[in-house]
Every structure is written in C-alpha cells, then in structure tokens.
C-alpha cells in the first residue's frame, strides 16, 4: 500500500507529487498518467494503465460514504446497460481496500465530451434525443445531465458518471412530468442558439415515447426549460464562487479570489502576490480615478487587468459592504458566456479585504484585441453578420431580462474577423421585475442609439430593435 501515499496527498490538495505515479489495488499495480477529476477528501478519477490496458479508475474515500458511492456507481452501470445505453465496459469494482473503494472502466480512445457547438449538435441532435428517450422508456434518468457526462466516440454517444443514473421502477417508462424535467435539464446545458435546435427537433423525442406532439406540448416544454435554466444558472454560479474542479477559490480575512482553474494552475499564487506590480508595470489602457485598466503578458497569456480603486475614505465607506465591482464583473462575464453573448473570457477576480470590509479589487480577463465599434464604423458600415450579432445580444437581453447599464459604443469591441464583444460589465444586472427590466432596457436602447445620432448608419442601428 506504500504506493498509495500519492493518493492521500492528492485528495488532501497537496500538489507536491510527480506524474506518473503508481496505484496499488489488490496487489496489482496501475500506472496513473492523468488526473481526470478531483473532489478533495471524497473522490479521485485517474487515467491509468496495467499490462497495456488503459483504464479510467474512480477512487472513493470510505470515510466519506465511499461504499455507498461505489454501490450507486455499480447500480447505475447495471441500469444503463439493461436499458441498452452505450457505456464504457466495467473492468472491476472492489471495496476491500483499507481506505478506499475503487471501480474501473475501459478507457475509451478518441472519446470527446459532447461539444457545446452548433455543428456538433446539428449532426447528433436526433441521437441525443433518442438516447434520452431510451433512458426514460426504461424508467431511469441521468440526474447530472451535462455535456461532460456524454462522450462522443466516432459517431456513437456514450454515457458516463453512472452513479447519477437512477430509477425506481426500471422497465416501466417514466411519467411525462419527470421525463420533460430531465430532458429540459439536458437542453439548458447548451447555449440558447443550440437549445433552439433541440426544441425544433423535440418531435423526435415524443415519437420515441409514443406521445402526441403539438404546439401546446412545445409550450409546456418551454416552461420546463425556463425552470431548468434557473436551476442550472444557480448551480453554475455556486461553482464559480467555491473551490471545485472548474474554479480555484479561496477566502481569508485579508483576501478573496476566484479563478478559472486552468488559468490558476498556470499562473499560481505568485500572480496574486504580484498583482499590484503587474498593474504598475502594465501598458495603460485607461487611467481613471475609479478604475485603472492595463494590458500585460503573464504565463504565456495576454491579459487585461482592471483594478477598481478606492478614491477616498468616503468612497471606501460607500463600497466596503457591497460586493466588489470585480466580483460582479466576474459573475456577469460568466453569465454572458453561458448565454452565448461574446465577451472577453473572464479568468478571475481578487478582492482585498479586512474581514467583512472590502477594499480595492481586480478583474482579470483575456485580452480582446478588438477596436471600439464607433471607431470602426466611422470608415465602413456594419456587415450583415455584425448586425446579426448585435441583434442576438439584444434578443438575449430581452429574453433573460438583462440590462447592461452603460451601453456606449466604447463598451463594444470588434475583432479582426468581425466578432463583437461586450465589455465593462460591472453595472450589468438581471431583473426579477419585468417593469424594472423594461425601464433599464429602454435606457440601454436610448444610450446605444445615441452613439449614432447624425451618423449614416443610424437607421441600420435603430432597425436592430424593430420586431
């Protein structure tokens, strides 16, 4: 068991180990070459090899209900195979280790998570709907229906994370309410444009269930989608403000930060410690009283850092109890990415604190490299594609009741290939009241059109808001 000391380190969050490392299970040695997933103190998933056979091994910590998790995984595998769903082949499942339970599957070569892209979904939408119908006809659901749990192997779809596959009366098809709620959970994993592809093909699912499909059923399903979206959004943002696979998060008496884990693993703690030095030495894009914006290169990436300054003691008193504008921008940037509205990728935020009191804060994004649209459109008219992008942005804002709050032309950037990005998100908000949204949206519309008063493209811009 000496080899398994690496597992203890990894599960405790210790990064001081070398890859690859060996894992011993029932006297067999497995060489682990990649960590696929980690839930600290609970679960570790690795890619491993033994005698030329590549495996995915899941380890569950017994003291954290590991035996129950193993039983759920085995049960989910049994249900999925009985329903005729493609799943990776089970190799072994053991619960006689001292501290862990383990289950192993054959590694699927050339497997890719189902991409959140229009092309991928357009090709495989019917297979996805039929996979879901097959689960539901057998009386089971995937309770964690997200795209990372659906693998595309050549032209076939495989289901993973089988501990989340459950059913009370397998073999007896699910009722409509449970079925549509589970299907809606899958639909909202896609961006709104892609969601529409699935909704437009919904009849395929209904045919597979032997149900009648009409306009009323489509309207009913859209209500399930709206409810699933709210749940998905809440769950997503909880992960953006806690330590997990997708986010590196930490909160102390003096500081709070959250970063995309992929960026944080490259940048490390040193980036946080050097943040003021980076701002001081960066190329200045904006030097205002309330915010300083600079462009820097770090860890091989081109970044923009926006430091939100505290201008005075009275400004500190006004801001110290409220969420920092950096944290708000971090949340809003992630929201726009969920909705498919282009914005520079948010990489993280840092808040300097003194207990409950917030001081200055920093937002870190990928550099856009775009020009302000007001500058570009002085010399040419917008293309049809650019107008379509702008129209889509306003359509999404209306559907999800979002206002930007400062929709001047300088907050829209256009990249070389014509992709438009929205920036400056610290006063953007979602509205729960339609009236408050409509008032704010009307101000956004008025402010946006005002950019083009007297311009030759005013009519084109105004037509973006026509029904």
What residues does each domain of the chain span?
Answer: 2-106, 111-240, 247-366, 372-465
Provide CATH code, domain 372-465: 1.10.510
Residue 429: beta bridge partners?
Answer: 403
Give the model's pLDDT for residue 315.
Answer: 46
Give the model's pLDDT for residue 28.
Answer: 87
- Beta strands, E only, 312-403: 346-354, 357-366, 371-372, 402-403
* CATH architecture of the domain with residue range 247-366: 2-Layer Sandwich (3.30)
Give the model's pLDDT for residue 422.
Answer: 96
Q: Tokens 């909704």: give the residue.
A: 199
Q: Is 142 helix (H, G, I), strand (E, B) or coil?
A: strand
Q: By the 8 A CB rule, do 404 and 393 touch?
A: no
Within this chain, domains 2-106 and 247-366 share the same CATH topology: yes
Give the model's pLDDT for residue 317.
Answer: 46
**CATH class label, 2-106:** alpha beta
Fold annotation for 111-240: Transferase(Phosphotransferase); domain 1 (1.10.510)
Q: Within 5-55, where are the H helices?
A: 5-11
Nearest of 413, 404, 390 to residue 466 by alpha carbon:
390
Report the C-alpha gap between 160 and 87 in whole angstroms.
6
Give the model's pLDDT for residue 2.
Answer: 47
Residue 25: beta bridge partners?
Answer: 28
Give the model's pLDDT for residue 222.
Answer: 94
Question: Tens digit of pLDDT for each residue in 436-454?
Answer: 999 999 999 999 988 887 7
Nearest of 258, 305, 254, 263 to residue 284 by alpha carbon:
305
Report the C-alpha gap between 26 and 1 in whole angstroms.
9
Question: Tens digit of pLDDT for each residue in 321-364?
Answer: 567 889 999 999 999 999 999 999 999 999 887 656 667 789 99
Segments in the chain below pLDDT 50: 1-2, 312-317
Q: DSSP per residue over 278-335, as a string? A: HHHHSEEEEE-SSEEEEEEEETTEEEEEEEE---SHHHHHHHTTSPPHHHHHHHHHHH
């Amino acid at each position: 068991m000496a080899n398994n000391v690496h597992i203890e380190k990894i599960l405790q969050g210790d990064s001081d180990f070398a890859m690859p490392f060996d894992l011993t299970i029932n006297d067999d040695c497995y060489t682990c070459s990649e960590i696929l997933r980690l839930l600290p103190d609970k679960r570790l998933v690795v890619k491993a090899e033994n005698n030329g056979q590549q495996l995915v091994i899941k380890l569950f910590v017994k003291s954290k209900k590991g035996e129950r998790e193993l039983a759920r995984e085995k049960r989910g595998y049994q249900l999925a195979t009985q329903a005729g769903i493609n799943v990776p082949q089970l190799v072994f499942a053991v619960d006689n280790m001292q501290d862990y339970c383990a289950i192993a599957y054959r590694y699927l070569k050339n497997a890719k998570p189902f991409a959140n892209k229009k092309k991928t979904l357009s090709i495989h939408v019917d297979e996805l709907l039929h996979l879901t119908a097959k689960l539901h006809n057998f009386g089971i659901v995937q309770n964690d229906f997200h795209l990372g749990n659906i693998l595309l192997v050549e032209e076939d779809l495989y289901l993973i994370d089988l501990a989340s596959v459950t059913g009370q009366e397998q073999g007896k098809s699910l009722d409509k309410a449970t079925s549509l709620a589970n299907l809606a959970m899958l639909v909202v994993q896609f961006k709104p444009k892609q969601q529409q592809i699935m909704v437009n093909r919904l009849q395929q699912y209904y045919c597979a269930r032997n149900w009648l499909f009409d306009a009323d059923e489509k309207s009913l399903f859209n209500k399930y989608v709206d409810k699933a979206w709210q749940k998905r959004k809440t769950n997503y943002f909880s992960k953006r403000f806690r330590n997990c696979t997708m986010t590196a998060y930490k909160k102390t008496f003096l500081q709070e930060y959250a970063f995309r884990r992929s960026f944080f693993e490259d940048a490390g703690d040193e980036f946080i410690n050097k943040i003021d030095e980076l701002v001081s030495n960066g190329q200045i894009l904006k030097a205002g009283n309330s915010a300083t914006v600079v462009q820097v290169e770090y860890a091989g990436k081109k970044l923009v850092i926006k430091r939100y300054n505290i201008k005075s003691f009275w400004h500190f008193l006004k801001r110290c109890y409220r969420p920092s504008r950096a944290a708000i921008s971090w949340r809003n940037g992630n929201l726009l990415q969920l909705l498919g509205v282009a914005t520079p990728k948010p990489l993280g935020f840092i808040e300097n604190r003194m207990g409950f009191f917030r001081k200055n804060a920093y937002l870190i994004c990928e550099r856009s490299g775009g020009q302000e649209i007001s500058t570009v459109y002085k010399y040419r008219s917008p293309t049809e594609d650019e107008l379509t992008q702008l129209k889509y942005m306003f359509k999404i804002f209306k559907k999800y009741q979002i206002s930007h709050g400062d929709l001047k032309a300088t907050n829209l950037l256009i990249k070389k290939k014509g992709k438009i990005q929205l920036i400056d998100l610290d006063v953007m908000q979602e509205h729960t009241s339609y009236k408050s949204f409509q008032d704010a949206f009307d101000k956004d519309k008025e402010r946006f059109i005002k950019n083009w008063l007297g311009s030759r493209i005013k009519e084109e811009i105004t037509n973006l808001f026509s029904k």
